[in-house]
A and B are shown apart, each in its own frame.
Chain A
Amino acid sequence: MSEEFKIEIVNPDKSYLEREDVSEVVVPAFEGEMGFLKEHISIISFLKPGIIKIISKSGNENYYVEDGIVEFKNNNLSILTSSIFKVDDIGKSKQQELLKQAEEEANKPEISDQSKYLADQKIEILKTLN
């Protein structure tokens, strides 16, 4: 029996990635990292800033996301996100730019606790990307 399932990552303006042969995906769900294998129960959750790890036959891939929604149903994993970058493609300058954005956000005086937490998460993850 194959242990593979389908993943689809969708951007607002296009379908970002589609794979049929992934064996495991780890996503940064809001309440902690969440791993998906085949025959996972149907679930809806949303993401916090972090790394999506996709493990498939053709190799492992890492993606950095800032937010999104994840839905798993009938061995279909859909991730809706407006900000996703492949980790290997993030150059030094892009990383610095994102980091700067996040730091600016974190230092806003009128920020709510939740946004502050999210911005801090972004900074932490971005710093580990080197």
Chain B
Amino acid sequence: MPKFLIWIAALAALIALPHGLSFSQQEILVFLTINVLLVASYRLLTLTGEWSLGHVVIMGVGAYSSALLTKKLGVYVPVSMLLGGVFAALIAVLLSFPLFRMKGFYFLIGSFAAGEIIRLLWKRFRDPFGGAKGIKGIDPMPDFSVGFYQFDFFEPTSYYYFAGVVVAVCLWILWRIEKSPVGLTFHAVHWQDKLAQASGVNVRAYRTLAFAIASGFAGISGALLAHYVGTINPNAFDIDLMVFVLTWAIVGGTATFYGPILGCVVLTVINEVVLRELGLEQMRPLIYGAIMILSILFLPNGLESIVQKFTQRRASNGAPERSPAE
């Protein structure tokens, strides 16, 4: 089956990828992998039609929880990462009570305010959050060997493989959720709010569920980041990063599962690799901004629309993707 072969080839390419890169590009690859999970989890939330500006702070909740669990309670790192995700999901459930009284633009700004309050609390309570300086010296993932490969988690390649597996599993779960009846209900909540409600769907409960799941995976991505960099602080989860996540998702397009991921990969490569190598220094934000504007003007349905055109022409008899009606 050719589809099967494509997956194998993609897997092989992903495994081989770091060996074709320079050291600093390997580092960028690690952060890119983590951000892929972040932006993919963000898409699940947007399925219900709500756009949050608090997603990066929720990622930070996962990072702080996991870091504190290992530092204060000595929890084993992979376990704490998982718990970080659980904690982020719980905080999201709590936040959903005030936030889901709002919709649209109000939700957007409401989620921003909620996130800012969390960030101010991290700054205010130096014990245990470390104040503005945050937490440093976070335990790294303990090294281990699987016989044929020695994992040394200082090395970006090792951490890339580890994070890659975690992210792949998470993406698979996110994908399964989206294709399940629950995921289809998320779509219904977005597109036919009133109808869904009339047919007995508890819209609020489904919104909360999507918010919690998305936040849980964002929390895991935060924990992955914390245990690699070894330090976190409130400024690392500020609106600037949130703006990047938002633009990755929109420039990539949110009609398909891979759209936001594509946006994240392409924009990160442009900003962190291409523009840096061009030695543009202070011009970098300008060109990045211009690229964002051009892409949204000339690809209003996102980068994914290029891929769609390509694949649909190739497999004209295949089932068409959901049309990007946004």
Q: Are A and B co-members of a single complex?
A: no
B residues in contact (CB < 8 Å) with A: none
Q: Which residues of A contact B (CB under 8 A)?
A: none
